[in-house]
C-alpha cells in the first residue's frame, strides 16, 4: 500500500497496528519532496533534521505503547506564515527575507507535543493577500491537476503538498478563503474554523479580525482529528454521519454572479445527490450575505495596511506591484468609517444567524470559477485582479459572517461544495460535512 497517498487517519491507524513506522513515513515524504520536479516550488524550506528527530520519537512511543493520539507520528506541512523555531518564516514576501523566529508558533508547538511530525514550510502568496496562489517574488506552486493552472491561495503550497503526496495533511491559514479555495482546486477537503477558535500566537497576520488557521487534508475525518490537536480539545463525533435528514439551505443570488458553468453544474449535481441521499434541500437568498459582503470586504485592505504599512513603505520595491496596490487601497478608508462598518457588520452577522437558524448548514459552490492560467495571472495585472476577486468571492462570505466553513470535493475536478455552519459550532459542522462527504463519494 502507498502510505504516502493515504489519509492522515489511515496512516495513524497503520502506525497503531504496526503496519508502518513514523520513521518510514517521514523518510518517504522527505525523499519524495527531494525527488519531485516541483518540490522546491511547493516547499520553501524542508525541515529534514526536525522531521527525522520527531519521527524517531514517535516510533519509540509507538513501540512502547505510549502514543499520544491517533496522529502521533503522522507528517504534516506548515504554511510559511506560521513561525517555526530557528527556521525561516517569511510569509511569501521578500520584505521578510531572512526572518528566523526563535520559537514555534503556539499551534505548531502544541502539535509537536501531540506527536505530529513537521516536514517543512510551504510556499504561499505574498503576505497571504491573494487567492490565486501565484507569487512571482518567491515561487508559484503548480496546480496538482494541471501545472499550468493557478493552485489557489494563499495556502497554495500547503494544498499542493497534500495533493501530490508530499505530506499527509497540511496546515494553512484562511482570511478570505485561503484554505478552502486551494483545497477545492486540488480536490481536497479544507476546513476554516470559526474566527478566534484557535490560538494565533506566532502566526504572521494579514487581518487579525478574520485570520484563522486550519487543516487541508484528504478527508473530513482528517480535518476533524487535526482540529482536535490544534484546539487541544475533543474530536468531532463523526460516527454514523450521513446526509439523510440534514437540513441544507442552498444560498441563492451572489454565489452565481459571473460564475462559470462547470463549478455551478458540479454543485447542482452534488445537491441532487444529497437530495437523493435523504437531505432536505431548501433554496433561499437571505439578504444578510450580500449585506455582509458589501460591509466587510473593504475592511480587509484597511486592516492589512494598518498592520503592515511601516514595513511596506520602508521597501515597497520589494513587493509584487499588484499586491502593493491592494495593500495601499486600504488608505482610502477613514477611522470613523472603519468603526461604523464593523458595527453594521456585527448587526448583519446577528441577523444572518437568526435567518438560517433552522438549517444544519448553508451550501454553495466553493468557487465560482475554475483555476485560471497561472502564467497569465503573473503577467497581466488586470487579469490577476479580476480573477483573484472572483475566486475568493464565495469563500469570503463565511469570513465576513464569522462562520466556520468547509469545502468538500464534488467529484468533478477542481470543483468543491462549501458548507457554512453556525459560529462556534465547528465540530457540528464537521459532522455535517462528513455526511455530505459520504453521500458524494464515488461508488466503488
Active-site residue list:
79, 154, 178
Q: At what angle do helices 321-328 and 381-391 cross, to 10 degrees?
A: 60
Q: State the CB neighbour count (10 A cutoff) for residue 239.
A: 7
Neighbours of 215 (CB within 10 A): 29
Distance CA 251, CA 402 (A): 16
* DSSP state for residue 371 in the 8-state scheme: P
For 383-415, letters b (16+ CB in 10 Å) and e give ebbebbbbbbbbbbbbbbbbbbbbbbbbebebb
Cα(417)–Cα(419) distance, integer angstroms: 7
- Residue 279 sits at the vertex; the CA angle it makes with 274 and 280, to the nearest 5 degrees, is 125
Residue 397 to residue 81: CA distance in whole angstroms: 23
Spatial contact of 155 and 124, defined as CB atoms under 8 Å apart: yes
- The closest alpha carbon to 294, from 369, 335, 345, belongs to 345
Which strands make up the sheet holding 361-365, listed edge to edge? 43-46, 117-122, 75-79, 169-174, 212-217, 189-192, 405-409, 416-420, 361-365, 247-251, 280-284
**Nearest Cα to 208, choosing from 173, 241, 252, 183?**
173
Quote the cell numbers at residue 55.
519521527
Angle between the N-to-C axes of helices 220-231 and 8-16, in degrees from 0 to 180, rounded to the nearest 10: 80
CB distance 206 to 400 below 8 Å: no
Give the integer Cα–Cα distance in Å for 9 and 166: 16
Q: Count how many Cα atoms sit within 13 Å of the Cα of residue 169 in the half-sphere of its side chain.
A: 31
CA 145, 147, 148, 152 dihedral sign is positive
Amino acid at each position: 500500500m502507498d502510505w504516502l497517498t493515504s489519509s492522515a487517519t489511515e496512516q495513524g491507524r497503520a502506525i497503531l497496528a504496526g503496519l508502518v513506522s513514523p520513521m518510514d513515513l517521514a523518510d518517504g515524504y522527505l525523499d519524495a519532496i527531494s525527488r519531485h520536479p516541483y518540490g522546491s516550488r511547493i516547499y520553501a524550506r524542508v525541515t529534514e533534521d526536525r522531521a527525522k528527530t520527531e519521527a524517531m520519537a514517535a516510533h519509540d512511543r509507538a513501540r512502547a505503547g505510549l502514543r499520544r493520539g491517533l496522529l502521533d507520528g503522522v507528517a504534516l506541512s506548515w504554511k510559511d506564515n506560521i513561525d517555526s523555531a530557528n527556521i525561516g518564516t517569511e510569509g511569501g514576501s521578500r520584505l521578510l527575507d531572512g526572518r528566523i523566529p526563535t520559537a514555534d508558533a503556539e499551534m505548531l508547538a502544541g502539535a509537536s507535543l501531540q506527536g505530529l511530525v513537521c516536514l517543512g514550510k510551504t510556499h504561499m502568496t505574498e503576505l497571504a493577500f491573494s487567492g490565486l496562489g501565484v507569487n512571482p517574488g518567491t515561487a508559484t506552486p503548480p496546480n496538482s491537476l494541471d501545472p499550468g493552472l493557478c493552485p489557489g491561495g494563499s495556502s497554495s503550497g500547503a494544498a499542493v503538498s497534500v495533493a501530490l503526496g508530499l505530506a499527509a495533511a497540511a496546515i494553512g491559514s484562511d482570511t478570505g478563503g485561503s484554505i478552502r479555495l486551494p483545497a477545492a482546486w486540488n480536490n481536497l477537503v479544507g476546513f476554516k474554523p470559526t474566527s478566534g477558535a484557535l490560538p494565533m500566537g506566532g502566526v504572521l497576520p494579514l487581518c487579525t479580525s478574520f485570520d484563522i488557521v486550519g487543516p487541508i487534508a484528504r478527508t473530513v475525518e482528517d480535518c476533524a482529528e487535526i482540529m482536535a490537536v490544534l484546539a487541544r480539545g475533543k474530536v468531532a463525533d463523526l460516527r454514523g454521519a450521513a446526509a439523510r435528514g440534514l437540513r441544507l439551505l442552498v444560498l441563492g443570488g451572489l454565489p452565481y454572479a459571473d460564475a462559470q458553468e462547470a463549478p455551478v453544474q458540479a454543485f447542482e449535481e452534488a445537491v441532487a445527490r444529497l437530495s437523493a441521499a435523504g437531505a432536505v434541500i431548501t433554496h433561499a437568498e437571505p439578504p444578510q450575505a450580500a449585506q455582509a459582503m458589501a460591509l466587510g470586504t473593504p475592511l480587509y485592505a484597511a486592516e492589512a495596511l494598518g498592520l503592515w504599512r511601516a514595513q511596506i513603505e520602508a521597501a515597497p520595491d520589494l513587493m509584487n506591484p499588484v499586491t502593493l496596490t491592494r495593500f495601499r487601497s486600504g488608505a482610502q478608508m477613514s477611522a470613523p468609517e472603519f468603526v461604523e462598518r464593523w458595527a453594521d457588520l456585527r448587526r448583519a452577522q446577528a441577523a444572518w444567524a437568526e435567518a438560517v437558524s433552522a438549517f444544519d448548514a448553508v451550501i454553495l459552490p466553493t468557487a465560482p470559477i475554475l483555476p485560471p492560467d497561472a502564467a497569465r495571472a503573473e503577467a497581466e495585472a488586470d487579469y490577476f485582479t479580476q480573477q483573484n476577486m472572483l475566486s475568493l468571492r464565495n469563500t469570503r462570505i463565511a469570513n465576513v459572517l464569522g462562520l466556520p466553513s468547509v469545502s468538500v470535493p464534488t467529484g468533478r475536478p477542481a470543483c468543491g461544495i462549501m458548507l457554512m455552519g453556525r459560529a462556534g459550532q465547528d465540530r457540528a459542522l464537521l459532522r455535517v460535512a462528513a455526511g455530505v462527504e459520504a453521500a458524494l463519494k464515488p461508488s466503488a
